[in-house]
Amino acid sequence: MAGVEDTVSNTTTYSAEGARTVRRWRKIFTGAYLAFTVAAAGWALLSLLAVHCGYYVPSEPQGPRIGVAADDPAELRRCHRSLERLLVDLHDTTFSLQARALKYDIDPATEWRNWSRAWTQRWRQVNHRCRLSEPGDGPRPILERMRPVHAALAELQLGYSGVVDRFIERYADRLRQLRSELRTIRALIDRQRKRRSGGRPPMPAASAGEEPQRPPPASSGGPPPPRGT
């Protein structure tokens, strides 16, 4: 009996020790899971604030650059195309954003902020690739004419940002309200048309010189009347 009691006692001790080990590892796993969840939530919150509050650290431009002498027509032509594309995109996006705000349910402030950051990064990349802010050792007449154009694009972007800001401040909410009201009016018209047609789809409009089509009379169940009577 003593041997059996010792065996039972040892089994109970081992079971209690195993339970404590399981609980200890469970606490460690739960703590690690909570720490990971909090870190992920904090990172997501910081990313959201960076997008909506305007905090943004642009990356440094990298990549190939034109020669210091700036005398290769192919390289200069690529720089010219880049400047031209910056100008066209800036103007088109500024005013197409207002048209899209009228047609779609968008947030023009967020869209402009994100697009403007990408445009500014492109502007900085052109400056890096074409050496527009670097003094040259010798005469570079074409590059010297590109330099003020590049600087003026940055000023124009600030001016267009003011245009977008005034549009958002004065007209964006009003446009949204008018679009919502027009949708409501259209829904009322559709419901009224449906009630008048008794649930049937509306009749197609008759062309000029034709009589409008009428629905056939309800059948009474008898034979049709003879012709010519």
What pLDDT is recorded for position 42? 53
As a whole number of angstroms, the distance between CA 28 and CA 26 comes to 5
CA torsion sign, 183 to 189 to 191 to 194? negative
The Cα 121–Cα 63 span in angstroms is 13
> Is the domain of 184 the same as that of 120?
yes
User: What is residue 36's predicted lDDT score, i.e. its pLDDT?
Assistant: 56
- Please indicate, yes or no, if residue 204 is contained in any of the structural domains: no
The pLDDT of residue 202: 54
109 C-beta neighbours (distance < 10 Å), count = 17
pTM: 0.56
In a domain, residue 2? The reply is no
- The answer as to whether 50 is a domain residue is yes
Question: Which domain does 21 fall in, by range?
Answer: 12-57
Same domain for 92 and 47: no
Q: Total domain count for the chain?
A: 2
pLDDT lower than 50: segments of the chain: 2, 4, 8, 43-56, 205-210, 212, 215-222, 228-229
What is the pLDDT, as a whole number, of residue 40?
57
Same domain, 79 and 188: yes
126 and 161 in one domain?
yes
Residue 114 domain-assigned? yes
Q: Are residues 46 and 84 in the same domain?
A: no
Tokens 């431009």 belong to which residue? 61
pLDDT of residue 114: 95
The reported pLDDT for the residue numbered 45 is 47
Q: Where are the alpha helices (DSSP H) in 53-172?
A: 73-103, 108-130, 141-167
Provide the pLDDT for residue 82: 96
Residue 20 belongs to a domain: yes
Do 48 and 81 fall within a single domain?
A: no
Average pLDDT, the chain: 76
pLDDT digits (tens, 9 = 90+) for 46-76: 444 444 444 445 567 778 899 888 889 999 9
Burial annotation 86-96 (CB, 10 A radius, 16+ → b, else e): beeebeebbee
Are 80 and 191 members of one domain?
Answer: yes
185 and 85 within one domain: yes
Positive or negative torsion for Cα 107, 155, 143, 81: positive
Flag whether 226 is in a domain.
no
Q: 111 in a domain, yes or no?
A: yes
Is residue 163 a part of any domain in this protein? Answer: yes
Q: Within this chain, do residues 127 and 172 fall inside the same structural domain, yes or no?
A: yes
Note whether 30 and 123 are same-domain residues: no
Q: Do 133 and 162 lie in a common domain?
A: yes
23 lies in the same domain as 126: no
